[in-house]
Structure 1
Amino acid sequence: MQVENRLAIVTGGGSGLGAATARALAAKGAKVAVFDRDAEKGQALADDIGGLLCACDVADPGGAEAAIETATAAFGPPAVLVNCAGIGTAGRVVGREGPMPLENFERVIRVNLVGTFNMIRLVAARMSLAEPDAGNARGVIVSTASVAAFEGQIGQAAYAASKGGIAALTLPVARELARFGIRVLTVAPGLFKTPLLEELPEETQAALGAAIPFPARLGDPGEFAGLVLAMIDNDYLNGETVRLDGALRMQPK
């Protein structure tokens, strides 16, 4: 699918994987709407790429709908949605203080899984009403899972469950939206040099990178963005979750 002069929505677009993806889409000529709760970072990125900031909580139905309406009014119907918004809170099911507070689990599920589904359902509804292109395609949705969806480590029960849910959504939603000409895909990244990992000491980052078979380093956000663009470009790729991890398989801890 061609993205030039078409609306691409990127959630979590103010930093990390989302920012790299927003930049890559803008470089291809897309009209990018940056969805992020951090208005300062989101605005800076939007200004830099000539996009539009839509500050919102992706898990809030009303807020997300209003943000999509703003983006659509500015740039027309959405052709691309890339879900990068998420959090990575860690915690044991049973720790020194007793069982994990249920609200901690619920928060991760709400932001990562419910937020992703909320954006899919709202944006897909808009896409379904757009005019199809010459190939009868109306849009592409790419979400972000994680290798933790398949090899969650100790302390990642909530995170792994949320990302596993995103991976599990991919095929049934792709099958359902096929009648509208909307493709649905997911990337499951491994260890990437995002703001969260960049806060760790250099020696810790190096040790994490060394554990990856090849290339033995942390992933670059630009490599994630490159895969997203390739997914959008390849019209026969649909209903699939693609690992992007340098052959990493996570150990229990």
Structure 2
Amino acid sequence: MDLSGASAVVTGAASGLGAAVASALAECGVEVLGIDLPASIEGAGSPSAGIRFCAADVTDEAQLQTAFDARDPAAPLRLVVNCAGIAPARRILSSRGVHELELFRRVIDINLTGTFNVLRLGSAIMAEMPPIDEDGQRGLVVNTASIAAFEGQVGQAAYAASKGGVAALTIAAARDLAQSGIRVNTIAPGIVETPLFAGIAPEAAAALAGSVPFPARLAAPAEFAKLVLMIAEHDYLNGETIRMDGALRMSPR
């Protein structure tokens, strides 16, 4: 899919994976609308050229629709990338007591329902765009799952359930949107060096990196962004959840 002259919407764009994707797309000449929470956008500073931020909660239909409406109408929407998410750790039973039901609901709401909310509103816009090739392709949605969808660790019940839902959503959404010429794929990253790891002790970070078979290091956000671009370029890739993990299979702890 040729993204020249196109626009893209990236959620969670103020930091981590979303910021890397937004930057990579902007460098390719794509007009990027980055969606994130107000506090996250304030902490991100001034965006790079080609990126414009819009504050919205992905779980809020009205806020999200307003954000989509703020995109540049002159550049057709061809790509939506879901990177917004949270990853609290809590065991089902622990010294804290029983896992809070409200916390479980919040994780599902943001990671799974929020992903679907972005996907449905974004695809509605892309479906109105003229096709860009002889196959009738109109756009692409890339979601973010996690290898926790397949090997959730201790304390990841809510997170694993939410990301497993994103993985399961992929093929169903791809089949639903095939009639509109919209592809849907998901990336399931392993351990990525995002701001989440900034406070981890060096020895702990080294242990995490050493657990990856090859290359024995943490993934870089730029590598996630590169995979998004590769998926966009590969027009026959559809309905797939792609692991980006250096062959890592997570242990229980």
Task: Check whether the contact 2:132–2:138 (CA below 8 A) recurs between aligned residues.
Answer: yes
* Alpha-carbon distance between aligned partners in 2 of 1:42 and 1:117, rounded to the nearest angstrom: 25
Q: Deviation per CA, 1:101-153, whole angstroms, max 9, x where unpaired?
A: 10010111111101100000000011111111123111000000000000000
The letter of the residue matching 2:240 is E
Contact 2:31 2:75 in 1 (8 A): no
Q: CA deviation at 1:43?
A: 5.2
**2:87 equivalent in structure 1:** 88
Larger deviation, residues 48-57 vs 9-18: 48-57
Match of 1:120 in 2: 119
Q: Report sequence identity in percent.
A: 51
In the alignment, the residues of structure 1 paired with residue 96 and residue 228 of structure 2 have an alpha-carbon distance, to the nearest angstrom, of 41
Normalising by structure 2, we get a TM-score of 0.96
Question: So what's the TM-score if we normalise by structure 1?
Answer: 0.96
User: Any runs of at least 4 consecutive aligned residues in structure 1 with deviations exceeding 6 A, and if so which?
Assistant: none
Q: Contact 2:10/2:33 (CA < 8 Å) preserved in 1?
A: yes
Cα separation, 1, equivalents of 2:120 and 2:45: 25
Q: Quick check: 1:198 aligned with 2:190?
A: no
* Structure 2 counterpart of 1:99: 98
Shift of 1:72: 4.4
Following the alignment from structure 2 to structure 1, what is the Cα–Cα distance between the partners of residues 142 and 69? 20
User: Which is helix-richer, 1 or 2?
Assistant: 1
Matched-pair contact (CA < 8 Å) for 1:34–1:42: no
The answer on whether the counterparts of 1:11 and 1:85 sit within 8 Å (CA) in structure 2 is yes
Aligned-pair CA distance for 1:77: 3.7
Name the SS of the counterpart of 1:214 in structure 2: coil
Cα deviation 1:186-242 (Å, max 9, x = unaligned):
000000100001221111111100010000000011111111100001000000000
Alignment of 1:55-66 (within 5 A): 55-66=55-66
Name the counterpart of 2:247.
247
- Give 1:42 shift: 4.8
Residue 79 of structure 1: aligned partner: 78
- C-alpha change, 1:99 and 1:202, in structure 2 (3 Å) is same
**Equivalent position of 1:50 in the other structure:** 50
Corresponding letter in the other structure for 2:98: P
Is the Cα contact below 8 Å between 1:15 and 1:41 reproduced in 2?
Answer: no
Do the aligned partners of residues 197 and 31 (structure 1) sit closer, same or farther apart at CA in structure 2, a change above 3 Å counting?
same
- Alpha-carbon separation, structure 1, partners of 2:111 and 2:56: 14
Map of 1:93-242 to 2, 5 A cutoff?
Answer: 93-135=92-134, 136-242=136-242
Shift of 1:50: 2.6
CA–CA distance in structure 2, aligned partners of residues 41 and 82 of structure 1: 21
Q: What's the RMSD between the two structures over aligned residues? A: 1.1
Q: Read off the aligned partner of 2:123 and give its amino acid letter.
A: A
The 2-side partners of 1:133 and 1:116 are apart by: 25
Aligned-partner SS, 1:125: helix
